[in-house]
Amino acid sequence: MKTISISRRKFAQLLSAGAAAALVRPALSLGKPPEHSAASTGVVRLSANENPYGPSPKALKAMTDSFGLACRYPDEHNNVLIERLAKLNNVGRDQILLGDGSGEILKLCAETFTGSQNGKLVAANPTFEAILNNASANGAEVVKVPLTADFAHDLPKMLAAAKGGLIYVCNPNNPTASITPKDQLRDFIAKSPRDTMILVDEAYFHYADSPDYESMIPLVKDHPNLIVSRTFSKIYGMAGLRCGYCVAQKETIERMRLHQMWDSVNIMALAAAIANLDDPDQVPNGQRLTSEAKAITIDELDKMGYKTVPSQANFIMFDCKRPVVPLIQAMKQRTVEVGRLFPALPNYMRVTIGKKSEMESFLNAFKQVMA
């Protein structure tokens, strides 16, 4: 079989052509605005918690090398990535389930552990809404428990509301970028009955540097009702490629797999994910660049009198002291896109941390809007 060789510049042109084609597709109405809008030239996009630096150069090369394998099913790459993730997380390979982004993992959890036969979904308010929509579509009752005054999950109230079913804990939480302290989360998991499943979403794990934060993956071995999800969309810059995974006990993985379609992760995403893991600079570089731009942004907002929720993610949320919807619209008119409205916090704006130049554009536009 002939291997296709393509330069990185040509690859970028192909991606640009694909993006242009996406713009002319008919819009789908899902009853709510989409989380992600198509990228436009000249727009500063700080609306979807993406990583502006992209995947590792090694991942870009692996993607182009995979073009010649597009005619083959991705089983071998699938197995390689599972092996790598099992070793990375110190678990068995039968405790890893790959997904089309962690979004598929959340959907599988809703389909497997909620509904008329399994129970309700309990989640924070506000939090990442995808799994709430998945559970509702599955016929489950969805219970929203407000965050505490310091923007942590109210775990005792969530546990009291569950009584079976599934509890979703996004930590660090989207949209607030806040964390629920490790001691509280460990105690909560220990006290949860076995018939109540717990999903801890660690999409922003790599950005959290607080001593009060740690991954819950090591607890999986002792808790059959615990699932921990991760994604390559954030620190690894693969939001458009879609690759994620979860760690759980073997029996839990097998239950979830029954609801999953075959080969849901494509060959290019698998190749990029493996190569990203092989680059020792990808994670620390992303952490450093994001931390520097975030510190500058928070400092400027503080000087303007706007308080930011303590952020442990690649985005921030802050109190604008007035309804945020007109501000979002006014920012968009200045070609800066920020996060959507979160009804539980109607005066708060969520902003992804982009490159320093992008954060300068955000601050300039925000100053104009608030003047």
Handedness of CA 348, 350, 178, 354 (dihedral sign): negative
- What is the per-residue pLDDT across 100-145, written as a single tens digit (0 to 9) for each? 999 999 999 999 999 988 999 999 999 999 999 999 999 999 999 9
Residue 352 amino acid letter: T
Q: What is the pLDDT of residue 14?
A: 41
Tell me: do 189 and 98 sit in the same domain: yes
pLDDT at residue 177 tops 50: yes
Tell me: do 268 and 306 sit in the same domain: no
Tell me: do 298 and 227 sit in the same domain: no
- Look up the CATH number of the domain holding residue 315: 3.90.1150.10
User: What value does the mean pLDDT take over residues 156-169?
Assistant: 96
Tell whether 150 is covered by a domain.
yes
Q: What is the pLDDT of residue 3?
A: 41
Tell me: do 249 and 153 sit in the same domain: yes
How many structural domains comprise the chain?
2
Q: What is the pLDDT of residue 8?
A: 43
Tell whether 362 is covered by a domain.
yes
Q: Are 110 and 135 in contact (CB under 8 A)?
A: yes
Tell me: do 320 and 256 sit in the same domain: no
Q: What is the pLDDT of residue 75?
A: 94
* β-bridge mates for residue 316, sequence order: 351
| Arithmetic mean of pLDDT over the chain | 91
- What is the per-residue pLDDT across 222-243, written as a single tens digit (0 to 9) for each? 999 999 999 999 999 999 999 9
Looking at 260, 278, 296, the residue that finishes a domain is 278
Written as one string, the DSSP assignment of 107-156 is HHHHHHH-BTTTB-EEEEESS--HHHHHHHHTT--EEEEE--TTS---HH
Residue 358 amino acid letter: E
Tell whether 42 is covered by a domain.
no
pLDDT at residue 5 tops 80: no
Looking at 250, 278, 306, the residue that finishes a domain is 278
Tell me: do 96 and 144 sit in the same domain: yes
Tell whether 19 is covered by a domain.
no
Tell whether 25 is covered by a domain.
no
Q: Are 179 and 213 in contact (CB under 8 A)?
A: yes
Q: How far apart are CA 299 and CA 273, in angstroms?
A: 34
Tell whether 7 is covered by a domain.
no
Tell whether 17 is covered by a domain.
no
pLDDT band for 20, please (50, 70, 90 cuts).
Answer: very low
Backbone angles phi, psi at 231, to 5 degrees: -140, 155
Angle CA 338–167–130, to nearest 5: 35
Range(s) of the domain holding residue 189 = 65-278
User: What value does the mean pLDDT take over residues 255-263?
Assistant: 95
| CA neighbor of 68 nearest in space, from 276, 268, 242 | 268
Q: How far apart are CA 270 and CA 72, in angstroms?
A: 13
- What is the per-residue pLDDT across 62-102, written as a single tens digit (0 to 9) for each? 999 999 999 999 999 999 999 999 999 999 999 999 999 99
User: What value does the mean pLDDT take over residues 287-306?
Assistant: 98
pLDDT at residue 206 tops 60: yes
Q: What is the pLDDT of residue 9?
A: 44
User: What value does the mean pLDDT take over residues 278-294?
Assistant: 98
Tell whether 303 is covered by a domain.
yes
Tell me: do 204 and 220 sit in the same domain: yes
- Look up the CATH number of the domain holding residue 202: 3.40.640.10
- What is the per-residue pLDDT across 31-60, written as a single tens digit (0 to 9) for each? 344 455 555 568 999 999 999 999 999 999
Tell me: do 221 and 296 sit in the same domain: no
User: What value does the mean pLDDT take over residues 188-208?
Assistant: 97
Looking at 261, 278, 295, the residue that finishes a domain is 278
Q: What is the pLDDT of residue 117?
A: 87
Tell me: do 115 and 217 sit in the same domain: yes
pLDDT at residue 19 tops 90: no
Q: What is the pLDDT of residue 36?
A: 52
Q: What is the pLDDT of residue 26?
A: 33
Tell me: do 223 and 313 sit in the same domain: no
User: What value does the mean pLDDT take over residues 210-217?
Assistant: 98
- What is the per-residue pLDDT across 336-368, written as a single tens digit (0 to 9) for each? 999 999 999 999 999 999 999 999 999 999 999
Tell me: do 144 and 238 sit in the same domain: yes
Tell me: do 256 and 119 sit in the same domain: yes
Q: What is the pLDDT of residue 116?
A: 86
